[in-house]
Amino acid sequence: MGNLSNGILKADIKSAAKLMRKIEEEDIKAIEELKLLYSHTGHSHVIGITGLPGSGKSSLIDALIENFRNNNKTVGVIAVDPTSPFTGGSILGDRIRMQNHSNDEGVFIKSLPTKGWRGGISKVTSRMITVMDAMGKDIILVETAGVGQTEVEIKKLVHTTIVVLVGGLGDSIQAIKAGILEIADIFVINKADKIDAEELETDIYNLLSMSSYTENNNSRKWLPQICLTESVNRKGIDKLIREISMHENYSKSTGGFAQYFKYKSNNDLKEIIVDYLTNLIFKELENDELYKKLLDDLMDNKNDPYSIAEEILNHFLKFKIKN
């Protein structure tokens, strides 16, 4: 057992923080520790929280942490913030909004930059979930960056997906465009004391009634619930917690909770293979004469990037791409 993984299995925060830093730095030693941790995962309830900027996701998470801790549940938070395309930096402000829990040993908050990764998450989000799961966290909350209409990738990483909306921002139209209607297990209309909250609730009910949420082959299917909250004032949080618990029970009774681990493992495997092959190929290409020639042909407009990519893959991986 590795030193860091041994500490993580004992819920040591310093060990977890060190391994997470290595994961972010793509240190090869982190992979060896993750290998040791993987078989100790699959116990946490992983909850994704996504939605548009200004919907109050971080404030909602702060209220959820408070409620979970009052019920003696340990909590891990992975908060993803957008990365600047110009400086490469990230604000990582979620720690500030959740600072009420900074001294609570039962809460571990990790902020991550997207670094340009798709879907409002970070490339290493899944690996951070593995670490927190192995630590023994009862609940893991994953907050997406909240940058627009593409944040559906979170569905692949969590058991329960919460979509946070707010009245007055045209969210019902956004929900249709983004595919958010399909990924939500629970809709939260936050800042319910503001304008258009009830109108938005009606819009969502209407959208759900026109969607494919029907029973198929007599099997039960979860119908997304809608909760109105005022996270700053802690209103509606108890109902949201009940809905989260009900979805967890539903997932366990229908096999979805156990199936999640298979899906996550499959996605992890694919990303590991892609990372490995990408690093292998580009390491080999650094001093390869064929690559230099093909690149010159591309620059001189003598060939196209698709044909060159096929030739490189055929050359290095010894398999042929079929049309």
297 and 283 inside one domain: yes
31 and 47 inside one domain: no
157 and 282 inside one domain: no
143 and 62 inside one domain: yes
276 and 241 inside one domain: no
Residue 168 lies in a domain: yes
Could you tell me if 139 and 75 are in contact, meaning their C-beta atoms sit under 8 angstroms apart?
A: yes
pLDDT at 134 over 70: yes
H/E stretch holding 238 reads helix 237-254
56 and 204 inside one domain: yes
Residue 228 lies in a domain: yes
- CB count within 10 Å of CB 101 equals 18
Q: What pLDDT score does 20 carry?
A: 95
| CATH number of the domain residue 212 falls in | 3.40.50.300
Vertex 210: Cα angle to 206 and 214 (nearest 5): 115
Which residue carries 């994961």 as its tokens? 23
Considering its fold, how many domains does the chain have in total?
3
pLDDT at 61 over 60: yes
Residue 52 lies in a domain: yes
- What's the whole-number mean pLDDT along residues 29-56? 91
Identify the band that residue 118 occupies on the pLDDT scale cut at 50, 70 and 90. Answer: very low
Structural domain including 280 reads 269-317
pLDDT at 140 over 90: yes
Residue 294 lies in a domain: yes
77 and 226 inside one domain: yes
Please tell me the distance from the alpha carbon of residue 262 to that of residue 255, in angstroms, as a whole number: 11
Could you tell me if 315 and 291 are in contact, meaning their C-beta atoms sit under 8 angstroms apart?
A: no
Identify the band that residue 147 occupies on the pLDDT scale cut at 50, 70 and 90. Answer: very low
100 and 183 inside one domain: yes
Q: Which of 77-91, 165-179, 233-247, 267-281 has the lowest mean pLDDT?
A: 77-91
Residue 259 lies in a domain: no
pLDDT at 102 over 50: yes
Closest by Cα among 45, 63, 66, 62 to 129: 45
Closest by Cα among 105, 142, 95 to 11: 105
Residue 323 lies in a domain: no
Question: Which range among 113-127, 166-180, 289-303, 307-321 has the greatest average pLDDT?
Answer: 289-303
161 and 297 inside one domain: no
Residue 91 lies in a domain: yes
pLDDT at 115 over 60: no
Residue 102 lies in a domain: yes
77 and 118 inside one domain: yes
14 and 73 inside one domain: no
47 and 196 inside one domain: yes
Please tell me the distance from the alpha carbon of residue 48 to that of residue 306, in angstroms, as a whole number: 37
